[in-house]
Structure 1
Amino acid sequence: MADTTIRGEDWYGRDLEKVEYTRVAWVDVDMTEISSTSAVFTECSFTNVRFNVSKHTESAFINCTFSRCNFFDASFTRCKLTGSVFDGCSFDLVDVAAGDWSFVGLAGAKLSGTTFHGVKLREADLNRARCDGATFSGCDLSGAWMERADFTGADLRGSDLSSLDPLTAQLKGAVVDARQAAVLVGSLGLTVLPE
């Protein structure tokens, strides 16, 4: 439940440094090209907010909800988004480097072409997520839910795939390393023996 609502405002290009917001609702706000550094958003909601070409560094969005938001070409570097939920959002060209995205809700999200590098995604909900052509390199996906997720042509090298069931996810053309291949084969009940 929001304590404050910010509606229809133009926040284009604002620099949000070391600010803190708790239980604030942003509705129809233009946050294109904003930059946030060490900003903290707790239990906030964002509805139809444009985050296009925004840059976030060491900021936190804790238990926030994002509905119908546009993140075109947005970047998140060492950010914390634990427990946040995304619904009907656009993620074209999003780049995420390091940070903690554990317990995020991305069920059904269209993450095609996005890049996640060295991100903690423990117990993230990626059920039915469309991750074709995406990059998840060196990510911690332990305990993540990935039923019916589409990783066609995705680069998954170096990520923890222990929770990925190759029988329920689409993996055609996905790139994995030898260690991951052994994990996936093991999850099919097969045993790999040295030659």
Structure 2
Amino acid sequence: MSGDEKDKDAVTGIPAEVAWASTEARLDLGSPAADDIPLREISAPELEEVIERHGMFLRGQTGGARANLQGYDLKFRDLSGRELAGAELSGCSLRNANLEKCDLKTANLFACDMREAQLKGAILTRADLRGACMRGADLCDVTMQEADLRDGVLLKPDARGNLVAVTYNTVDADIAVANATRADMSGARLSNAFIVQTDLTDAKLRNTRFVRADLSHSNLTGADLEGADLTEATLTGAILHGTILYNVVFSGTDLTGADLAGAVFSNMNPDDPQFRLARMPRALDALGPEMREIMIQHDLWIKSNGKQGARASLERRDVSKQSLSRLNLAAANLECSVLTSCDLTGINLLMADLALSDLRSADLSNADLRGVTMRRANLMEARLTGVQAGPIQIVGAKTQRWPAHFDRARFDRAILRGGDFHQAEMSGAVFTGADLRDCNLRGAVLRDAEFDGADLRGADLSGADLRGALNLRLDD
């Protein structure tokens, strides 16, 4: 038997001094026991040689070798932008390491300590992250499609050579207090994961498995969870403003205190016990006495320049499938409101706040949207033909032009034909399949906007900021 074979465990095929396997229990990487586990040392030149040879291995060059850094101490190392796809990194410490834009596709990061690591823009597609600890890590813009973040356990051989767990603390894959804004974890397996107080704003989590995961007090604003499995998951106190929840499995999910204002469902039953414990928008009758009083006070507030009456507040109210046509709700607060399938034709929403509102299939034809705020609003399949959504001039100590804000709004399959959106702020907006024919988009800010399948024939984009725009096809 060769020396290499002798040093490997017969079951796992990896070095005998530390082996890793999947099980229901796993190592608590924040525990003293974990910090006491001996790690191998490697010098900077040695590490550089390993990485260079790994790059040669990936390119099929002679002399290349797959990187095997299992169980090494890589704390505080700068691995930004390096090629480590498929590398063996199980059990190593990457605590506080710089892995920004590092390619870690299919890498084995089983039970790695990645606390407070910088992973911004890193690629972790199909990586093995079972039992990994990423507490406090920066996961902004990371790609983790189909990654495996289930639980795991650290094993070591006993005196007889049998593998035994170092500790039996039942702490699972840990992403707590991490920044994962805009992260792509579509199809990832996060069963039993610990994701408490994590910022998942605008994250892509389609078809992700969160079975028994703990997402308590996490921020999922604007995240896309279509097809996700939240069976027996805990979302107590979580924020789900504007979150896409199409075809999500909620069996046994704990939504106590979860804020679902502006969230978009396809299969929700409000009579289910878990939804009754969540914070949901309250229904409002558009023809009822409460609405009449709101409009009387708002009209007085406008005419008296704010000296009398009260600003209309429909925040977190559900007015879906009703008519607010031609009402004057200028400067009103409609944040997180539900206006699905509403008749809003000719409505005055000048300077109104509709951030995170649900306006799917609403008809806003010929509405006054000058200076409106619709950040992260859902306008899928809405009708906005002939709207006025240019800037408004504010006269005060200093005259300024206030643009309409549609940052990260969704216009999938919406009809915006002939609308005036000049100088509008529309960064990150989604126009998939939208009708933008003859739109005035002069000087609009459309950075990182998505135009897949959008019809832009006759649209005026002169002076528009299109940096980072995706799938933009202009008619010649």
State TM-score, norm by structure 2: 0.37
Structure ranking higher on relative contact order (CA contacts 8 Å, 6+ apart)? 1
2:272 is aligned with 1:186:
yes
| Shift, 1:99, TM fit | 2.5
| Shift, 1:3, TM fit | 3.4
| Shift, 1:23, TM fit | 2.2
Give the 3 Å change call, closer, same or farther, for CA 94–101 of structure 1 in structure 2.
same
**What is the CA RMSD across the aligned residues, in angstroms?**
1.9
2:214 is aligned with 1:125:
yes
Letter in 1 for 2:98: D
Q: Which residue matches 1:150? A: 239
Give the 3 Å change call, closer, same or farther, for CA 167–33 of structure 1 in structure 2.
closer
2:120 is aligned with 1:52:
yes
Tell me if structure 2 keeps the 8 A contact 1:145–1:163.
Answer: no
Q: Give the count of matched residue pairs.
A: 187
Q: Which residue matches 1:163? A: 252
Give identity over the alignment, percent. 17
Structure 2 unaligned regions, length at least 5: 1-33, 40-72, 152-172, 277-476
After superposing the two structures, state which structure 1 stretch, 162-171 or 51-60, moved more: 162-171
Q: Which residue matches 2:82? A: 14
Q: Which residue matches 2:191? A: 102
Letter in 2 for 1:29: A
Q: Which residue matches 1:88? A: 177
2:97 is aligned with 1:29:
yes
Q: Which residue matches 1:78? A: 146
Give the 3 Å change call, closer, same or farther, for CA 189–98 of structure 1 in structure 2.
closer
Bigger share in strand: 1
Structure 1 unaligned regions, length at least 5: 191-195
| Shift, 1:165, TM fit | 4.8
Match of residue 42, structure 1, among 94, 98, 110: 110
| Shift, 1:7, TM fit | 2.3
Deviations 1:24-56 (A, max 9, x none): 111221111111222111221112211111112
| Shift, 1:98, TM fit | 0.8
| Shift, 1:176, TM fit | 0.2
Distance 1:189 1:102 in 2: 22
Give the 3 Å change call, closer, same or farther, for CA 52–139 of structure 1 in structure 2.
same
| Shift, 1:188, TM fit | 6.3
Give structure 1 regions of 4+ aligned residues with deviation exceeding 4 angstroms. none
State TM-score, norm by structure 1: 0.87
Distance 1:104 1:9 in 2: 26
Distance 2:38 2:144 in 1: 26
Letter in 1 for 2:230: L
Distance 1:160 1:110 in 2: 22
Tell me if structure 2 keeps the 8 A contact 1:165–1:187.
Answer: no
| Shift, 1:166, TM fit | 5.2
Tell me if structure 1 keeps the 8 A contact 2:231–2:251.
Answer: yes
